[in-house]
Amino acid sequence: MMNCSDVALRASKTVSAVKTINRVTQIQTWFLSTTMAKGKAKKKGKEKEIVEWVANLLYFVHTQTHGSSTGPRWLPLPPEIIWMILQFLRADKASLRACSLATREFRHAALLCLGRHLTVSTASRLKRCAQLLAGGAFQHIRSLDLGVNDKKVITEGYWKNHLVVLGAFARYHALNRLWLSEVPFRFLRPSQRNDLRETITALGSTVTELGLYGCHFSSYEEMISLIRSFPHCNFLFIRNCVTGEQTAGGNAFAGLPEHTLDVKDLQLSSPSSNVSSIDISNLIEDAALNVRSLTALVCDVGTSERTQRVAAAVSASPVEQFQVACAETGGFQGRRTLVEFR
């Protein structure tokens, strides 16, 4: 890490040593005091060394500094330089929070490192999130867990907020990971169908990891149509989804482009209350899942016969993790390697 002496020596070709030390000290003092005060951090240890190093770097990168009552002013740092600096802090949340509060230049990049994931799991959070998104918040988010699980009964009002949240992130074109939990698709009205389809199409252009947890679909076909709307999905998780709730509207996702998914990780479990448990081998065929690159498979198979069918379906895949659960009397429950079934 550079200290003030090193800074002064390098800058002495264009600026006198005394002037250099004064300016570096001014910048360093201001940056340290601003960062530590706003971040509520202690001026010691690794964090102090990091912000000192950033302060020194700021002096060299900026071509002009001027003293002021609020501290020095400088030309903006290039975003790529800021990003390089913050990569060293990815595991240090306290320092990232401090940097996000110190300067405008560091705020956006620090938030990207700090808050790339958002969980919306309560009714109050869902409502608040919808309000904030209306103002353009959360554009830095890359991973979203969405679903109200603190209410026994999900009302139509929650569904409207789901639409607002999904629509906003669809416009951002930034999500890589989307997990939907107990999303009440059954409340979808005919007038909302086109908007929802456009939203799903936009989300499908960037999402590579899709999770469906306890979602209620009007039919098995509707769930399949939704899955096939995510062409870049490599990680697919389906757990406890209900696919037997017939609604007057039918398949809400019918007509969306259907794609082949190259999955690397596939997990499936069905609730005991489901009208018909989902057969993983049928799912692979119906959802057009390309399993030639599949490395992990975890599923409920129901019967020993299904276990053999699943093993046959992925026999040519480089599966490293093969975990199945069989509810049949005397059937297998637990882990097995795929080699045991070949």
SS (H, E, C) 302-332: CCHHHHHHHHHHCCCCCCCEEEEECCCCCCC
Q: What is the DSSP string of 75-111?
A: PPPPHHHHHHHHHTTTT-HHHHHHHHHH-HHHHHHHH
Question: What pLDDT score was predicted for residue 121?
Answer: 87
The dihedral over CA atoms of 110, 112, 113, 119, expressed in degrees to the nearest 10, equals 130
Question: What pLDDT score was predicted for residue 51?
Answer: 56
The model's pTM: 0.67
Q: CB neighbours of 300 closer than 8 A, spacing ≥ 6? A: 268, 269, 270, 277, 324, 325, 327
Residues forming a β-bridge with 299: 268, 324
Question: What pLDDT score was predicted for residue 50?
Answer: 57
Domains in the chain, CATH or no CATH each: 4-112 (no CATH), 120-290 (3.80.10)
Q: Which amino acid would we find at residue 274?
A: N
Question: What pLDDT score was predicted for residue 246?
Answer: 58
Question: What pLDDT score was predicted for residue 296?
Answer: 92
Contact 229, 259 (CB under 8 A): yes
- Could you give phi then psi for residue 210, rounded to 5 degrees? -120, 130
Q: Which residues of the chain have pLDDT under 70?
A: 1-77, 102-103, 150-154, 245-249, 271-277, 302, 327-342
Q: What is the DSSP string of 4-53?
A: HHHHHHHHTTTS-HHHHHHHHHHHHHHHHHHHHHHHT--SSHHHHHHHHH
Beta pairing class for 177-181 and 65-66: unpaired
Question: What pLDDT score was predicted for residue 153?
Answer: 63
> Using the 8-state DSSP alphabet, how is residue 279 labeled?
P
